[in-house]
Structure 1
Amino acid sequence: MPDSRQPRRVRLKDVAEQAGVSVGTASDALSGRGRITEETRRKVADVASELGYVANALASGLRTGRTRTIGLHRQSPTEQLDKPYFRQFFAGVLEVGQRHDYDVSILSANTQVPRSTAPRVDGVIVVDPLSDDLRARELMLSPLPVVAGEYLPPGLPECEVVAVDHRRAVNELLAAEEERGVSRPLLVAPDEHSGWGNLLREVFEAWAADLGVEPAHGYVRFGGWDDKDGFRQVIRQLLEAHGDADFMLVSSPYGVLAGRELLLEAMPGREVRFASAGPDVDGVLSETPEVGYVDLPARALGAACAERLIERLEAGPAPGRAPGATLVPASVRLPR
């Protein structure tokens, strides 16, 4: 009969005994914690490698309360998984998680109902925080470290922010439009629940004030990235109310497409230029070089959020560090 017995797993205690240190010192040496000399760290690491020791993450988690898992929260995540932007953001987080040996968990999120249990993660990235998202608020008020992946809207608790440098990118796009001549600019952006929407309005209004013109706004539901019917309705209302408008900045390339189609179908002869504050998702603007857009770096943003969160988890928040924004640059395609 074959021997079904499995070889005994090498334990941390075995590594400690072989290296001539305590179990606590061996644990600190292998995890990078504690005040230990480099010579001791190397000795313990060499012994662990020689014995074939593999850390038991479950046992470690029981001792430390750590799961080595970071959570990803986004309002309506099941809808967003269809969107290229969220998939790219998620991929950036996964890349960093893999590099640091952290799992990534997408949190289930009924944003109108409080959680009944705390999420089993060490920290959370809140993607595109919205002020009417009850669970985002809960997470930011919890003891868990939280990093927001985009600007916070008013009303949400403060936390660290990693965001795209929209201000620089949008100003670059608007400067190009200014050179082409603008007399009556319009903006279609997410409402006040979105920190990104609020920033777009701030930048747009400051630009219009410098031009000495009065801007007008229309609002769309945040997350309705490809809701062409919704954009079409808002854009029609704006164009009908402002017959002299000659330029419109829209938060999505699908909104640009909806506006251009509206002009062709229902307002022939009307000339309005468009630009998108969002990237050319699905190539909808690839054949329209006269339309500029901001190419939002979703993957780089997700990676930067994960790096910052894991840095906090590994080292803890720096003493006296105030919440602030770490900016990720975005490229701009200027109109031709």
Structure 2
Amino acid sequence: MRRQTVTLKDVARAANVSPSTASEALSGGGRMTAATRESVVRAAQVLNYRPNAVARGLRTGQLKSIAVHHVHSGDRFASDYFRDFVTGVLDGTQADDYDLTLLNSNPQVPRNRVPRVDGVIIADPIADDLRAHELLNSGLPVVAGENLPPGMPACPVVAADHGSALREILDHALTRGVRRPALLGPDANSGWGEVLRAEFTAWCAAHGLRGATRRSRFGNPSVPEHEAQVDELLTAEPGTDLLIVSSEPIALGALAALRTHGRSPGTDVLLACCAESRVLSATSPAITGVDMRPRELGRECARLLIRMLGAADDGDGGDAPPAGPVTLPTTIHWRASTGPRDA
């Protein structure tokens, strides 16, 4: 036998108040005596009343639900980074009892509707992602989990402090006698890639060094393609003595290419990755990586978005977005590929 749903009218009848008063009492609003509010709350508890989310959304304009969008969300679940990021978003939604939706992603096909959520987190915003542009122009509150690429509509940003980590790696390499650094990072579709190139170029200029840069398609998982790209770089720049890459597939391709060129990572050439994965600690030699703390990043994205939505239900319409990017610290895991740090 199907259990009968308890409605707001049932609670109001049991507390001997109107449905509107019952609604205000349960939401913490309205003007009434403490005894009336207590009577409504007690009636709701006795009847085991659960608010209808759709009806509440129609009344308040909020569904208590946010979404995460990524240019390739399905494929990215294979990565530790994206799983940790989404786990962090869930950490951030739990305190305020928001639900989380993972949006379908197809970067070249328009959405057929605006998602039924209060706001959206765009993880790793990419310039040629059509759906990301649609979300940014939808009128929904949006927070970006990483730096926006040039030309993308503005929104609040939470990002890892890539610049500090990259400069620390470069400073260490300088103490090891490096004179010909190179960077292989994401193309201009990625705001992260643009930050890395700007920091690398500025550091090289400040130290009077000629640095080489190459670009990789963001999210390209192909190790052989990156091996070929590093091979081309080493052929064009045979004096390269530091190679900084941006992802695990590039790092693995770099190891293979360096060996083909008779180079010894950690001794006559240093190798570091601006991201982190468990694989990097298991290579030979183990590769220095930058932990961007994706769980923290996801959590702070959710907290910022919920604050903007007024998650505390205090009636002030939520917090104003921050004036600039919110930057979170990173952790460098130093390994054999960059040599001893006390050299």
Q: TM-score range by the shorter chain?
A: 0.7 to 0.9
TM-aligned CA deviation for residue 285 of structure 1: 3.0
- Find the partner of 1:272 among 269, 273, 283: 269
Q: Is the 8 A contact 1:294 1:330 kept in 2?
A: yes
State the partner residue of 1:230: 225
Unaligned runs of 5+ in 1: none
Distance in 2, Cα, partners of 1:243 & 1:140: 44
Aligned-residue Cα RMSD (Å) equals: 2.7
Residue 28 of structure 2 is aligned to residue 27 of structure 1:
no
1:161 CA drift (Å): 0.7
Q: Distance in 2 between matches of 1:123 and 1:246?
A: 46
C-alpha contact (below 8 Å) 1:158/1:323 kept by paired residues: no
1:22-48 CA distance string (max 9 Å, x none): 544443443355688988766644443
**What TM-score do the two structures reach when normalised by structure 1?**
0.87
CA–CA separation in structure 2 for the residues paired with 1:324 and 1:135 = 24
Q: 1:239 corresponds to which residue?
A: 234
Could you tell me which amino acid in structure 1 is paired with residue 253 of structure 2? A
Counting only pairs closer than 5 Å after superposition, residues 103-182 of structure 1 correspond to structure 2 as: 103-182=99-178
Q: Secondary structure at the match of 2:108?
A: coil
Query: 1:288/1:63 Cα in 2 relative to 1: closer, same or farther (>3 Å)?
Result: same
2:314 aligns to what? none
Structure 2 regions of 5+ residues with no counterpart?
A: 312-316
Deviation digits for residues 1-57 of structure 1, max 9, x if unmatched? xxx574x54332344455566544443443355688988766644443244222122
The one-letter amino acid paired with 2:183 is: L
Identity of aligned residues (%): 43
Structure 1 residues 32 and 235: CA distance shift in structure 2, 3 A: farther
In 1, distance between residues paired with 2:149 and 2:29? 37
1:69 aligns with 2:65: yes
Quote the Cα distance in structure 2 between the aligned partners of 1:178 and 1:38.
Answer: 68
CA distance in 2, matches of 1:63, 1:135: 29
- Give the superposition deviation at 1:129: 0.3
Q: Tell me: CA distance 1:38–1:286, structure 2 relative to 1, closer, same or farther (3 Å).
A: farther
Letter in 2 for 1:11: T
C-alpha contact 2:309 2:319 (8 A) present in aligned 1: no
CA displacement at 1:120 relative to structure 2: 1.7
1:282 corresponds, among 262, 278, 281, to: 278
The number of residue pairs the alignment matches comes to: 329
Q: Which moved more, 1:195-204 or 1:16-25?
A: 16-25
CA distance in 2, matches of 1:241, 1:52: 72
- Structural mapping, 1:208-227, within 5 Å: 208-224=204-220, 226-227=221-222
Note if 1:90 corresponds to 2:90: no
Could you say what secondary structure the match of 1:72 adopts?
Answer: strand
Q: Does 133-142 or 19-28 show the bigger shift? A: 19-28
Matches within 5 A, 1:187-202: 187-202=183-198
Displacement of 1:159: 0.4
